[in-house]
Amino acid sequence: QVQLVESGGGSVQPGGSLRLSCLASGYTERMGWFRQVPPNGREWVAYMNMPYSVPYYADSVEGRSVEGRFTISRDNTKNAIYLQMNSLEPEDTAMYYCAASTRRSGTWRRADDYNYWGQGTQVTVSS
């Protein structure tokens, strides 16, 4: 059983930055970030191949590109990932979830590829 603890959400003005953190209690093959705006489902933002520390980004999230604005990274000394979000826009407002998988196969771009989830952290971008 892996537990995920997220932190770092909050409110920021357009153009601002936030950094989300997620710490896993055990080994994971992949860790990623999803976001959700009700009534839509969770949409993949980025994931990290943990054994090789290789990041992957969604081409678009809700029709908008995040690459270049969002950066996923990891702490090489522990099972932790981060999502640095710059140039935030009101459309980035969502609940952000950390996800982890101990599976060795999957697309890693869908919510059902992950078997562990964090509690979610709210990000609000508003002037």
The pLDDT value given to residue 69: 93
Average pLDDT over the chain, rounded to an integer: 93
Handedness of CA 32, 113, 24, 41 (dihedral sign): positive
Q: What is the mean pLDDT of residues 62-71?
A: 82
The pLDDT value given to residue 59: 81
Q: What is the mean pLDDT of residues 90-108?
A: 94
The proportion of the chain whose per-residue pLDDT surpasses 90, expressed as a percent, equals 86
